Structure 1
Amino acid sequence: MSTNGEEDSIVAASENAVPIAPQPANVEDEVKVGEGSSTNGGKSATSFQDVAHLLDVRLLRALAKLGFSHPTPVQASVLPLALAGSDILARARTGSGKTLSYGLPILQKILLAKKAISPSEMSYQVTRAIVLVPTRELSEQVTAQLGALLPFLDKEIKVVNVARDASKSVHKVLLAERPDIVVSTPSKAFSHVDSGSLDVQHVETLAIDEADLILSYGHNESLRALLASGKLSSSIQCLCMSATMTQDVKALKGLVLKKPAVLDIPDPEVSTLTQYCVQVQSATDKFLLTYVILRLRLIRGKCIIFVNDIDRCYRLKLFLEQFGVKSTVLNEELPVNSRYHIVQEFNKGVYDYIIATDESRFGADAAAIEDEQDANAEAKNAKKKSGSKVKNNEYGVSRGVDFVSVSCVLNFDLPVSAKGYTHRVGRTARAGKTGTSLSFVVPEEVFEQDMRGASHSKHLVCPTTENDSKVWQSIVKQESTRHQSIKDWHFDRKQVEAFRYRMEDALRSVTKHAIREARIRELKQEMLNSDRLKAHFEDNPTDLDYLRHDKILHPTRVQSHLKHIPHYLMPRIRAGQQAKRLDSDAADDENSGEKRKREDGQEGLSHVTFHKRGGRGGRGGRGGSSTRGRGGRLNGKPQGPKKKGDPLKKFGK
């Protein structure tokens, strides 16, 4: 959405506003935006002024207060049809504003219904809309976004989230007030409907967000039971939003929609995402490159690091702690309140790095396997192995959760499908902003080499990397059909190798026992926070600043000398920048956003690139014609007073 500070220009309908012709609710209309199709018999809404005569003035003022003046493509297409009462199935990319596209019609419909009823009547305050989401994290996000539209309607419209962790008695009390909108997962919604605590006889609108994940997250039976209960009205309006058109979405279309208008919103032609990949030569290369990238600040800004296993999540966190790099973990073991708090603090800039699990048998990866039969087989096998997965399936990171201003997505472990890759990298380059993705790919021969009995890297191998080569071919093919290219990240491997001995020293300290102790310690801390301090934080919200999720766990040996990088290991950078500190956040305005090129013509990942040293190379490449250690002259120019010695030589004496 674009912003505009002029509130009155939005509140007042423009004289040139496009009239919106009402549409009957049961007319099937296949719509493809951008191909000359019309969503309303005329034109799509190009401004919120175009639908100003259909929206309450208080909603328009809320949009102005939020700084929204022009709808996104999905909102421009959905709003006229949804306000006219049509069932809708819309597909649009992640971060395109789907929540607002169904949120505004829901609120407007509730306001019209209440306007026709006296406040003294029993039917004035009833539940009129249900929003179903696949995960608890997304339920918190949707509730917050709907609440942002209610600064002038907070006394008239109530929104309750029953997906969050709380006892049934608490949810029963909240539902007893008959809130206008209930946000929930299908499992929780059916549970409350079945028990009678949620009255749905007056529900007029059913919205399903991230529809392609609803069935794959284990909500299939609950959703079908809710729709077959006979308690929902047969004339209910259904609004389904999805990022992909999977087989599950097609099944859902026939399950809940009645001759819907199908909107396929094309992705932007110009992508703001730059994609890189690295073919690693061993399992330890992932840790080495991650250490170098983060410690030397080759990635500027916030970064999400995806791994495929909870143990690897903590292994990587403990590994980075050895070098003084703080990070926080996000996985299904943590309480939902803590997961939501982590996301919120990350969005505020409190944390720079999140290490998130996105295991292959859950979430977008499990839903995105191209072959439907394979997907069903995996779901059945996962259910047999793990029993009930409802709790785990309500966790998701690569889909739905709105991470703000993410500069880079690092696929430490490659996802198990091409569509899973799409959803991961969709966490960055959102809302028109630029972003970068970097993926570590394990070739088949490297996996076999690491899995040999004599290999010292066997315990560092992730089982899902066995299929990296096949998955990567699918990813490259998928991106090429979208006219997107994935570049190889070029760097001087000799200079990276200079950091290997420090990486191996730190990695030896992260044992299985250390990982287990770290998980236990964090879970104990989360239990303390959620049970004993919940009421305190509700009364003292500022104290949440002291609850940090990126605290050092260090149940292992911490070597303080690893936090500092010796001068001789620092990579040489091109002339004019050698005096700048690597960890400085002061960027040259004229160079920001431009691709940094190496002297040899290759491209780097960010503002610092590795360059080949003259002379001997090796650890730091001392000597040679271009440099003389840490002191003396560089290219014939004095470089300040010579240091007396290397402090690392005295370490341990």
Structure 2
Amino acid sequence: MSFESLGLAPFLLRALSEQGYETPTPIQQQAIPLVLEGHDLLAGAQTGTGKTAAFGLPLLQHLGTAPQAVGHGPRKPRVLVLTPTRELATQVHDSLRGYGKHLRIPSAVIYGGVGMGNQLDALRRGVDLLVACPGRLIDHMERRSVDLSGIEVLVLDEADRMLDMGFLPSIKRILAKLPKQNRQTLLFSATFPESIKQLAMEFMRNPRQVQVTPQNTVAENISHRVHPVDAARKRELLLHLLAADARVQTLVFAKTKHGSDKLATFLEKSGVQAAAIHGNKSQGQRQRALGDFKSGKVKVLVATDIAARGIDIDQLPRVINYDLPMVAEDYVHRIGRTGRNGSSGEALSLVSQEDAKLLRQIVRLLDRDMEIRDLPGFEPQVPIRWGNSAPGKAEVPGGERAPRKPGGGRGRRPHAGGGDGQRHAHAGAKSHGGPREAARKPAEAGRGRRRGGGNPGGGGPRRDATR
């Protein structure tokens, strides 16, 4: 299937062709025709599926083919895209400007953490397209610097994350200011908890629903490995893993903002080029850290879950969970940063006894085995009690990988035993998940190979993070 067969206008097809995008991803194939037909849409799409183009291309076509009626007063926004984080807002805005390069559509992006001057100037000049974080949009509403009465299309991007971050009251305040008649609403979410369904029932009209990737599936080309360790020795083990190959770019996840800073400082003092990114950093600091990481100037980026949402590094080889996420679903989002575009990826987790419960939840969620490997010199003083749902089974003493059978399977596992070596956390019957997030071509714009190998998605290097 081609983009042309989806019914997109020539000015969009030209921009896509110039950027080397040829084949739409599954979410684009399913969503674009429905949006062009004017339906409200509930779309289940995780990071890496190409969702930004799935809503961005049809809304640009709407703006480009149905010009705003000339009236009195300043130009009012016609399309509003709400995102949970300022980096995601910037990235979405950049993507839409790229797709709409042959259109003259005035646009603006507004988010917190920076001064309001430039945003106020852009809104005074008038825009058709507005990308915003809920909190800063509320600020402008209270100042009466934005008029939302002309919104024709509303997009809620990463709706589950917005609700997780406590934006539900803000979203409802914003919705109350939007036209109720003749408004098209598109909601994109990785998961659909009850709160999302309730929100959809309140403000959407007979929405169509598409789900391109079964929830909580991960790419098959990512290897998952757990290293048991005492909590007090996690930093030493992390340093050991990083030192084993200092050239490998690594995204390290920490639980808290303060913890991210402390860990990055420790790594720097230990001779590792590292930077931290989290919600307390200024916009300039965060963009500088991301830029240094993408350019290779910094080899290790320490991040919190929200700050790293959607970080897109081409062929990032390794993600390390220094702290396991408190919510099992966030593991999927974390490791989705690696193993993209068909390349292999490695997801390592440093797990102490207090993390065992979180690991069990992750294993059950993924419904697949997870290798457990003690590293010599870092074995916990007291063996970790995994519990019945994630029993450790020794495979080969010394932590060496067992030889594969001719058919590709692994060697027979002996009975459960202690000692170092390779074991597996079990989830019951192993699931092989659903289709990979990128079916035939790389899914996100700005990622991977271009001509003959790229697809628009989130567009450009991903830069999601907090408002």
Q: Tell me the TM-score range normalised by the shorter chain.
A: 0.7 to 0.9
Deviations along 1:171-199, one digit per CA (max 9) or x if unpaired, are: 22210111111111122223323433212
Is the CA contact (8 Å cut-off) linking 1:74 and 1:97 kept in structure 2?
yes
SS of 2:250's equivalent?
strand
1:71 and 2:24 are equivalent in the alignment: yes
1:438 aligned to 348, 359, 370, which one?
348
1:348 aligned to 295, 304, 317, which one?
295
SS of 2:263's equivalent?
helix
Shift of 1:212: 0.6
2:39 aligned to 76, 86, 93, which one?
86
SS of 1:293's equivalent?
helix
Letter in 1 for 2:220: S
2:309 aligned to 396, 399, 408, which one?
399
Shift of 1:269: 8.4
Task: Give the Cα separation in 2 of the matches to 1:476 and 1:599.
Answer: 24
2:106 corresponding residue in structure 1:
158
1:476 and 2:426 are equivalent in the alignment: no
Structure 2 CA distance for partners of 1:123 and 1:90, relative to 1, 3 Å: farther
Task: Give the Cα separation in 2 of the matches to 1:123 and 1:407.
Answer: 52
Deviations along 1:548-567, one digit per CA (max 9) or x if unpaired, are: xxxxxxxxxxxxxxxxxxxx
SS of 1:64's equivalent?
helix
1:339 aligned to 261, 282, 286, which one?
286
Task: Give the Cα separation in 2 of the matches to 1:220 and 1:202.
Answer: 22
SS of 1:315's equivalent?
helix
1:277 aligned to 201, 223, 226, which one?
226
Query: What is the 5 A alignment of 1:616-631?
Result: none
Query: What is the 5 A alignment of 1:20-99?
Result: 46-51=1-6, 54-99=7-52
Structure 2 CA distance for partners of 1:66 and 1:122, relative to 1, 3 Å: farther
2:369 corresponding residue in structure 1:
485
1:113 and 2:63 are equivalent in the alignment: no
Structure 2 CA distance for partners of 1:432 and 1:232, relative to 1, 3 Å: farther
2:174 corresponding residue in structure 1:
226
2:323 aligned to 399, 413, 416, which one?
413
SS of 1:131's equivalent?
strand
Task: Give the Cα separation in 2 of the matches to 1:145 and 1:49.
Answer: 19
Is the CA contact (8 Å cut-off) linking 2:74 and 2:125 kept in structure 1?
no
Structure 2 CA distance for partners of 1:161 and 1:270, relative to 1, 3 Å: closer
Is the CA contact (8 Å cut-off) linking 1:140 and 1:164 kept in structure 2?
no
SS of 2:33's equivalent?
helix
Deviations along 1:591-615, one digit per CA (max 9) or x if unpaired, are: xxxxxx99985269xxxxxxxxxxx
Is the CA contact (8 Å cut-off) linking 1:307 and 1:413 kept in structure 2?
yes
Task: Give the Cα separation in 2 of the matches to 1:75 and 1:270.
Answer: 19
Letter in 2 for 1:275: H
Is the CA contact (8 Å cut-off) linking 1:89 and 1:241 kept in structure 2?
yes
TM-score by length of 2: 0.76
Task: Give the Cα separation in 2 of the matches to 1:269 and 1:331.
Answer: 25
SS of 1:206's equivalent?
strand
Is the CA contact (8 Å cut-off) linking 2:112 and 2:133 kept in structure 1?
no
Letter in 1 for 2:267: L
1:215 and 2:168 are equivalent in the alignment: no
Of structures 1 and 2, the one scoring higher in RCO (CA 8 A, sep 6+) is: 2
Letter in 1 for 2:225: Y
Task: Give the Cα separation in 1 of the matches to 2:126 and 2:304.
Answer: 37
Task: Give the Cα separation in 1 of the matches to 2:318 and 2:93.
Answer: 27
1:138 corresponding residue in structure 2:
88
Is the helix fraction higher in 1 or 2?
1
TM-score by length of 1: 0.55
Structure 2 CA distance for partners of 1:351 and 1:92, relative to 1, 3 Å: same
Is the CA contact (8 Å cut-off) linking 1:141 and 1:402 kept in structure 2?
no
Structure 2 CA distance for partners of 1:438 and 1:319, relative to 1, 3 Å: same
Task: Give the Cα separation in 1 of the matches to 2:397 and 2:286.
Answer: 40
Is the CA contact (8 Å cut-off) linking 1:295 and 1:323 kept in structure 2?
no
2:200 corresponding residue in structure 1:
253
Letter in 1 for 2:202: L
Shift of 1:351: 2.1
Structure 2 CA distance for partners of 1:488 and 1:86, relative to 1, 3 Å: same
Letter in 2 for 1:277: V
SS of 2:8's equivalent?
coil
Task: Give the Cα separation in 1 of the matches to 2:374 and 2:57.
Answer: 47
Structure 2 CA distance for partners of 1:98 and 1:330, relative to 1, 3 Å: same
Task: Give the Cα separation in 1 of the matches to 2:402 and 2:99.
Answer: 44
Structure 2 CA distance for partners of 1:103 and 1:237, relative to 1, 3 Å: same
Shift of 1:291: 1.4
SS of 1:262's equivalent?
strand
1:303 aligned to 242, 250, 259, which one?
250
Is the CA contact (8 Å cut-off) linking 2:60 and 2:100 kept in structure 1?
no
Letter in 2 for 1:113: A
Shift of 1:342: 2.1
2:238 corresponding residue in structure 1:
290
Shift of 1:470: 1.4
> Which has the higher Rg, Structure 1 or Structure 2?
1
Shift of 1:442: 1.0
For these two proteins, the number of residue pairs brought into alignment is 385
Structure 2 CA distance for partners of 1:258 and 1:124, relative to 1, 3 Å: same
SS of 2:130's equivalent?
strand
Is the CA contact (8 Å cut-off) linking 1:161 and 1:183 kept in structure 2?
yes
Query: What is the 5 A alignment of 1:160-175?
Result: 160-175=108-123
Identity of aligned residues (%): 30
1:238 aligned to 185, 193, 205, which one?
185
Is the CA contact (8 Å cut-off) linking 1:201 and 1:233 kept in structure 2?
no
Letter in 2 for 1:49: E
SS of 1:439's equivalent?
strand
